Amino acid sequence: MTQRGCPLVVVAALAAATVLGCGSSGPTEPGTPPSAAQRAGNHRHPARRGHHGVRGAHISGGCPSSSRVLRGVYHPERLTVLSACQRATGVVTIVRAEPDGDLHFDVRLDPSYRSLLRSGNAKQHGDLVIEFMPRDGGHLPAPSVGDRVSLVGAWVDDTDHNWNELHPVWSARINGGATHTSGPRYGGSPAGDRSYNADADCRTPSGARCVGYGDPSVHSQLRPGSRLGGRVP
Residue 192 binned pLDDT confidence (cut-offs 50, 70, 90): very high
Q: What is the average pLDDT across 11-18?
A: 43
| Statement: residue 205 has pLDDT above 60 | yes
Q: What is the pLDDT of residues 134-165, one digit of tens each?
A: 999 999 999 999 999 999 999 999 999 999 99
Q: What is the pLDDT of residues 91-132, one digit of tens each?
A: 999 999 999 999 999 999 999 999 999 999 999 999 999 999
For position 152, which CATH number holds?
Answer: 2.40.50.140
**Which carries the bigger pLDDT value, residue 230 or residue 102?**
102
At residue 181, the pLDDT reads: 97
Collapse the DSSP code of 68 into the 3-class scheme (helix H, G, I; strand E, B; otherwise coil) and give the result. Answer: helix
What is the enclosing helix (H) or strand (E) of 36?
Answer: helix 36-44
- Convert 39-70 to b/e letters by CB count within 10 Å (16 or more is b): beebeeeebeeeebebbbbebebbbbebebbb
At residue 33, the pLDDT reads: 65
User: Residue 120 belongs to what domain range?
Assistant: 30-222
Question: How are the residues of the chain apportioned to helix, strand and coil, as percentages rounded to the nearest 5?
Answer: 25, 25, 45
In a domain, 164, yes or no: yes
In a domain, 229, yes or no: no
Residue 36 binned pLDDT confidence (cut-offs 50, 70, 90): low
In a domain, 15, yes or no: no
In a domain, 3, yes or no: no
In a domain, 38, yes or no: yes
Domains held by the chain: number: 1
In a domain, 7, yes or no: no
Q: What is the average pLDDT across 19-34?
A: 44
Which amino acid is present at 90? G
Residue of 192, 197, 194, 133 whose CA lies nearest to 166: 133
Q: What is the pLDDT of residues 53-76, one digit of tens each?
A: 323 333 345 899 989 999 999 999
Cβ pair 140, 131 in contact under 8 A? no
In a domain, 4, yes or no: no
At residue 32, the pLDDT reads: 59
At residue 50, the pLDDT reads: 35
Residue 207 binned pLDDT confidence (cut-offs 50, 70, 90): very high
Q: H helices within 165-215, ranges in order?
A: 198-201
In a domain, 172, yes or no: yes
Residue of 25, 171, 165, 28 whose CA lies nearest to 86: 28
Cβ pair 148, 187 in contact under 8 A? no
